[in-house]
A and B are shown apart, each in its own frame.
Chain A
């Protein structure tokens, strides 16, 4: 089946591994992803924090071009992009708002936008738990995983349509289909500190530490994330979090697509595992897989 795909800006940088593993897993499942041609940034937090019309205009341009592709489903891996795209689509239902946004665009936006969902929902809808289980080559049954959605994926519920905002269960279903031992992780929708990693590093360190501490105490082998920013805070900034908590963490933070890819028997370098700052080698050993190749040129040491 064909899907229009919106990678989002981080796909080309901080979450290149998410991008790589998403494409690999989707390909393995027979999902064809066609990028929106000439897509632009969704505006991220800065745009909507300043001006909802600006944010909607940036998103509407993408949605408009996606609409012209003629495909009904648009997938995006990043919860923040997803939130902006869905908010924009919702706001554009208001004719006055649409008129103001159209003024900011070269051409008036298409009257109907494709349905935007997360890659996670797209995968689940495409094959369901049984379909996923059929693709599993090496079960993750030796792994205990802490699913972590971040705060954006399920909220606000009336826009995101992701099930129970406090207790979404989709990732659990996908990981369980891969054979993993999935924890009922109480902080699965707690905030990691998000972009406060830059202006208020201590706050992000404290919030991320809480998540990492709980995963450690619950004896998770890894935290499984669905958001580029969450993954960065928990993985790249893990030493900062450890310092704030006065603790020592060795907690790999995988994207759910990386975990699924491992179960599907895709090679670690197809999944970008070498990009993880906290090595997943222990995990791979448990799965009796060879360690990931050394980090690529952009990668450095985790942030202290």
Chain B
């Protein structure tokens, strides 16, 4: 075999702490290496051209590039060697940047380690053999999890692009958090008015199948061929019959049911349609508060329903959908701010979250758009807004910025003045983060035109003064003075975390998530929509804090990824799959049982039970290879012999 080695300088990223020329020189002494060089930027056009030239000039039949992580450029270099006429799998990468130069400063040790990693790659490459990808069919349907504004945008874009969409929403209506907002920054236009038509489009589009009150139960398969089991929770109302007339809600005697849509600022009935523009506009029974379902006595809604839609015997049921890719758009929830006991820990009725305040501002909210204190219904004269409650606070394990709070706080201060011209608003802030288009101008308006008093500093405590008001104690860090304000109402800009259940979904989708539950993108900068699982894309806040325009943009981006994937009729697999040596296989079936993808089948050869890999399904995880007691299953390009050869190279 004739191997060429390229030790990349990566500018000074690697060369700064690794003697690349020396590594290249050492590489020449490794078995089968006939050529070695140390280019400045191997991934750049001249670097790739040099690889191609070397392959031709020196008759190479395998290439090792020692540079960055394979996650960065393996695909790039595979294409390079292919252009040079080699099989693209006759290529190995040694990661001497993330694993060497970036983590150590000792030049000599780094150079040694880099040389050893190159030697291991060479040892592995000597046992590589050309592999060929297989093609398989793609199911051209997309599943979108979450019907907030990001999911809605992705659904509409996919459906318009001709791809059938299955949209799964946990709540009884789509619309997500945006549907709860009164107005939106920086234009102060009505949230329901701009989102409502999009929601209607979802309902009316023939290409979109909407499952509301539904959750993902199970996901199996792989890019192009996912099979998703969906749990449709019992709504106790047959939606095929329900006309959304609302008669049931009017007559329901259980009038003290907590109103989740209104963020628990008011009460609703046990059977209800959450808000006038709900999509689907269908009634749902809250089983925990329904007298019929809890006590077996009532049945009022069934009696008054003109279409006989109420069905107390309804149970959860399941549907399975076959799709080619999945877009996760599960959004966010507010963190549990009641850990802030200095703000009352939830015990003071007039200390509320900004989302609750939004419901008080909204014309379809519990007060009909009148700002009223939850404790006594009085209109507040002084409102204090506290920002960064559960954001940028390491003391509660929340180091991240929630992104949009600065802007909605400015909006709420403006709306407060609009609703109550005699009121006065204070905003305790750490920094004002308003980098979007027209954002800074907007937050300036809150101060300059609407007289909101911004105080830079944190609030140390909020407590009731015994006379119906609240004392807000804080620091003005610009003046270096303590501040005390008597407020009628306190609004907390509560930090966000991934939606409840997001981590369970991530595990079903085999994608990673960070410690606040946000899904991890494939590359922070260059692959913000993809995940590390092929065919699973992200949209909206489930990936990290985003405002509405950015969520919509990412919804469209995810749709573009789905449409791009479906532009091809067939997909190629990665041929680095498991392979069975039939002579060694004893048919024990352990591999069949351990495979998480269902890629190992049982077959019969000359009357004997044997394992068989379905190559287009195999994801190359290697579980079967390490499980097989006979060593009969080997993972192509990670065979036992290759791993041992690498170990030998290292231990020599």
Residue of B with least CB distance to A167: B341
Contact B341 A214 (CB under 8 A): no
Which of A166, A217, A219 is in CB contact (< 8 Å) with B342? A166
Complex Cα spacing A54 to B129, Å: 76
A13 beta carbon closer than 8 Å to chain B? no
Q: Which residues of A contact B347 (CB under 8 A)?
A: 184
Question: Which residues, 122 to 165 on A, are CB-close (under 8 Å) to B?
Answer: 164
Given A164-B341, A166-B342, A167-B341; A187-B463 close (CB under 8 Å): yes
A218 beta carbon closer than 8 Å to chain B? yes
Contact B466 A219 (CB under 8 A): yes
Contact B464 A186 (CB under 8 A): yes
Contact A217 B467 (CB under 8 A): yes
B507 beta carbon closer than 8 Å to chain A? no
Q: Which residues of A contact B466 (CB under 8 A)?
A: 214, 216-219
Contact with A along B466-486 (1 / 0, CB 8 A): 110000000000000000000
B465 beta carbon closer than 8 Å to chain A? yes
Complex Cα spacing A217 to B464, Å: 10
Q: Which residues of A contact B341 (CB under 8 A)?
A: 164, 166-167
Residue of A with least CB distance to B463: A186
Q: Which residues of A contact B345 (CB under 8 A)?
A: 167
Contact with B along A206-220 (1 / 0, CB 8 A): 000000001011110
Min C-beta distance of A115 to chain B, whole Å: 28
Q: Which residues of B contact A190 (CB under 8 A)?
A: 461
Contact with B along A188-221 (1 / 0, CB 8 A): 0010000000000000000000000010111100
Complex Cα spacing A166 to B345, Å: 11
Min C-beta distance of B368 to chain A, whole Å: 32
Contact B342 A214 (CB under 8 A): no
Q: Which residues of A contact B342 (CB under 8 A)?
A: 166
* Chain A contact residues, majority secondary structure: loop
Residue of B with least CB distance to A187: B463
Complex Cα spacing A184 to B463, Å: 10
Q: Which residues of B contact A219 (CB under 8 A)?
A: 466
Min C-beta distance of A255 to chain B, whole Å: 23
Q: Which residues of B contact A187 (CB under 8 A)?
A: 463
Q: Which residues of A contact B464 (CB under 8 A)?
A: 186
Which of A166, A167, A184, A214 is in CB contact (< 8 Å) with B465? A214
Complex Cα spacing A218 to B347, Å: 16
Q: Which residues of B contact A184 (CB under 8 A)?
A: 347
Q: Which residues of B contact A216 (CB under 8 A)?
A: 466
We find that the number of chain B residues with CB closer than 8 angstroms to chain A is: 10
Complex Cα spacing A166 to B466, Å: 19
Complex Cα spacing A262 to B71, Å: 75
Q: Which residues of B contact A214 (CB under 8 A)?
A: 463, 465-466
Range, interface on chain A: 10 to 19
Q: Which residues of B contact A164 (CB under 8 A)?
A: 341
Question: Which residues, 446 to 475 on B, are CB-close (under 8 Å) to A?
Answer: 461, 463-467
Residue of A with least CB distance to B341: A166
Q: Which residues of A contact B461 (CB under 8 A)?
A: 186, 190
Min C-beta distance of B392 to chain A, whole Å: 21
Residue of B with least CB distance to A214: B466
Question: Which residues, 211 to 269 on A, are CB-close (under 8 Å) to B?
Answer: 214, 216-219
Q: Which residues of A contact B467 (CB under 8 A)?
A: 217
Complex Cα spacing A46 to B347, Å: 39
Min C-beta distance of A179 to chain B, whole Å: 22
A164, A186, A187, A216, most chain B CB atoms within 10 A: A186
Min C-beta distance of A82 to chain B, whole Å: 23
Complex Cα spacing A166 to B463, Å: 12
Complex Cα spacing A167 to B341, Å: 8
Residue of B with least CB distance to A188: B463
Complex Cα spacing A187 to B464, Å: 10
Complex Cα spacing A108 to B347, Å: 51
Residue of B with least CB distance to A166: B341
Complex Cα spacing A119 to B465, Å: 30
Complex Cα spacing A124 to B347, Å: 26
Min C-beta distance of A229 to chain B, whole Å: 21
Min C-beta distance of A209 to chain B, whole Å: 12
Complex Cα spacing A191 to B463, Å: 15
Q: Which residues of B contact A167 (CB under 8 A)?
A: 341, 345
Min C-beta distance of B487 to chain A, whole Å: 14
Q: Which residues of B contact A166 (CB under 8 A)?
A: 341-342
Residue of B with least CB distance to A218: B466
Complex Cα spacing A184 to B461, Å: 15
Contact with A along B266-300 (1 / 0, CB 8 A): 00000000000000000000000000000000000
Question: Which residues, 245 to 296 on A, are CB-close (under 8 Å) to B?
Answer: none
Contact with B along A168-187 (1 / 0, CB 8 A): 00000000000000001011
Complex Cα spacing A216 to B466, Å: 8
Question: Which residues, 330 to 375 on B, are CB-close (under 8 Å) to A?
Answer: 341-342, 345, 347
Residue of B with least CB distance to A165: B341
Contact A217 B465 (CB under 8 A): yes
Complex Cα spacing A187 to B463, Å: 8
Residue of A with least CB distance to B465: A217
Residue of A with least CB distance to B469: A217
Min C-beta distance of A247 to chain B, whole Å: 13
Min C-beta distance of B65 to chain A, whole Å: 52
Q: Which residues of A contact B463 (CB under 8 A)?
A: 186-187, 214
Complex Cα spacing A217 to B461, Å: 18
Min C-beta distance of A97 to chain B, whole Å: 28
Contact with A along B155-188 (1 / 0, CB 8 A): 0000000000000000000000000000000000
Q: Which residues of B contact A218 (CB under 8 A)?
A: 466
Complex Cα spacing A37 to B477, Å: 50
Min C-beta distance of A257 to chain B, whole Å: 26
Residue of B with least CB distance to A186: B463
Complex Cα spacing A164 to B465, Å: 22
Complex Cα spacing A214 to B467, Å: 9
A164, A187, A219, most chain B CB atoms within 10 A: A187
Min C-beta distance of A190 to chain B, whole Å: 8
B345, B347, B465, most chain A CB atoms within 10 A: B465
B341, B342, B345, B463, most chain A CB atoms within 10 A: B463
Q: Which residues of B contact A186 (CB under 8 A)?
A: 461, 463-464
Complex Cα spacing A210 to B342, Å: 17
Min C-beta distance of A34 to chain B, whole Å: 39
Complex Cα spacing A214 to B345, Å: 19
Min C-beta distance of A36 to chain B, whole Å: 37
Q: Which residues of A contact B465 (CB under 8 A)?
A: 214, 217
Min C-beta distance of A213 to chain B, whole Å: 8
A164, A214, A219, most chain B CB atoms within 10 A: A214
Question: Which residues, 208 to 236 on B, are CB-close (under 8 Å) to A?
Answer: none
Min C-beta distance of B289 to chain A, whole Å: 29
Q: Which residues of B contact A217 (CB under 8 A)?
A: 465-467
Residue of A with least CB distance to B467: A217
Complex Cα spacing A219 to B467, Å: 10
Complex Cα spacing A195 to B60, Å: 84
B347, B466, B467, most chain A CB atoms within 10 A: B466
Complex Cα spacing A167 to B464, Å: 15
Complex Cα spacing A187 to B460, Å: 12
Complex Cα spacing A260 to B353, Å: 40
Complex Cα spacing A219 to B464, Å: 13
Residue of A with least CB distance to B348: A186
Residue of B with least CB distance to A217: B466
Complex Cα spacing A217 to B347, Å: 19
Min C-beta distance of A210 to chain B, whole Å: 8
Can you spell out 16 A-B residue pairs with CB atoms less than 8 angstroms apart?
A166-B341, A166-B342, A167-B341, A167-B345, A184-B347, A186-B461, A187-B463, A190-B461, A214-B463, A214-B465, A216-B466, A217-B465, A217-B466, A217-B467, A218-B466, A219-B466
Which chain A residues have a beta carbon within 8 Å of chain B's beta carbons?
164, 166-167, 184, 186-187, 190, 214, 216-219
**Pairs of residues from A and B, 9 with the lowest C-beta to C-beta distance, nearest first:** A186-B463, A217-B466, A218-B466, A217-B467, A166-B341, A167-B341, A214-B466, A217-B465, A166-B342
Additional pairs, 4, CB under 8 Å, beyond known A184-B347, A190-B461: A166-B341, A217-B466, A218-B466, A219-B466
Which chain B residues have a beta carbon within 8 Å of chain A's beta carbons?
341-342, 345, 347, 461, 463-467
